[in-house]
Amino acid sequence: MCLIGLAIDQCRRFPLVIAANRDEYFARPSARLGWWAPEGGGPAILGGRDLAAGGTWLGLTAAGRLAMVTNVRDPSRVDPQAPSRGLIVPQWLSGQEPTDRFWTRTVLSGYNGFNLIAADFKRSECFWGSPLSAGPKRLERGVFGVSNALLDSPWPKTDRLKASLARSLSATESLDVLVSDLFAALADRNLADDADLPSTGVPLELERQLSSAFIRTPDSSYGTRCSTLIISERVGRGLVTHVLERSYSAAGGVSLLRQTTLKNWPPRYTDAPDTLPVTEAEVTESPGDEGTAPETPPVKRTRVRSLLKPVAAPRR
């Protein structure tokens, strides 16, 4: 991933919303959204897959773990022998380590600069981390954005996506409208003004080309490969999560839409026996740009609890 917008508990009906673009060379082989088994074992992962290194840029498991990664753009610190950053995601999704141990091991594994947003909803954990930060930061209620700098760095396309996400959640009337608005925000090709461009060590013209949410270099060798939405919706007393991926080719034209719906996901932050299981729902594919998800009845206005358990304030 190279651009992520994340909203947690900003809307009663849609408590978790993720809108993200993956930018990559079109020559790098990859698989579209689907369930797949990671190398070395572990729970099945729902997400796309990098067929060159075996990892992924975004994935989730039925058990309630989620992770997504972006690179930090800094050519002066790139080690060509470093392992693929996409391997971090399935390692988190395997669910074999607590956060502190996982983070220490990952930071010491020699990856080039990255941002990681990871969650374990059953444990009420959601955090962002980067080797360039002091340590992982717990994420709670809010709207967050990250591209190829640190979390919430004021890059134009990051700010625009966060604003679009917040605006859509405050005004949306239906799931279809929300899906349409967010796909439109991810398809934004407007370049930033030169005065607002970050300085990351790449030539100015390339910095301009990379400043829009949707990227396509003039030679069509690099650009936005797919746009992904994850939208959790309250239906009755439960949650239904819609996962949609719109993929693009170097030649442009009609994109493919793959989508699936997960019932009872993400799971509640409890190990109570009434927690309902989540199955590996079928992923369907359709041509065109309609980008719609199955409509569900609106949630009744009853008291609901937050997606993540609030942290108690320290006693004085």
Q: What is the pLDDT of residue 141?
A: 95
68 CB burial (10 A radius; 0-12, 13-18, 19+) = buried
Q: Encoding tokens for residue 311?
A: 């942290």
The two structure tokens encoding residue 194: 């030169």
**Beta strands at 45-50 and 114-120: parallel, antiparallel or unpaired:** unpaired
Given this model, what pLDDT does residue 288 score? Answer: 63
- Count CB-CB contacts under 10 A for residue 41: 8
pTM of the model: 0.92
Phi, psi of 269 (to 5 degrees): -80, 75
What is the model's pLDDT at position 234? Answer: 95
* 67 CB burial (10 A radius; 0-12, 13-18, 19+): buried
pLDDT 10s digits, 41-60: 899 999 999 999 999 999 99
Domain-wise residue ranges, the chain: 3-287
CA distance 234 to 15: 8
- Confidence check: pLDDT of 278 > 80: no
Q: Which CATH architecture has domain 3-287?
A: 4-Layer Sandwich (3.60)
238 bridge partner residues:
235
311 pLDDT above the threshold of 80: no
Q: Dump pLDDT digits (tens) for 14-26.
A: 999 999 999 999 9
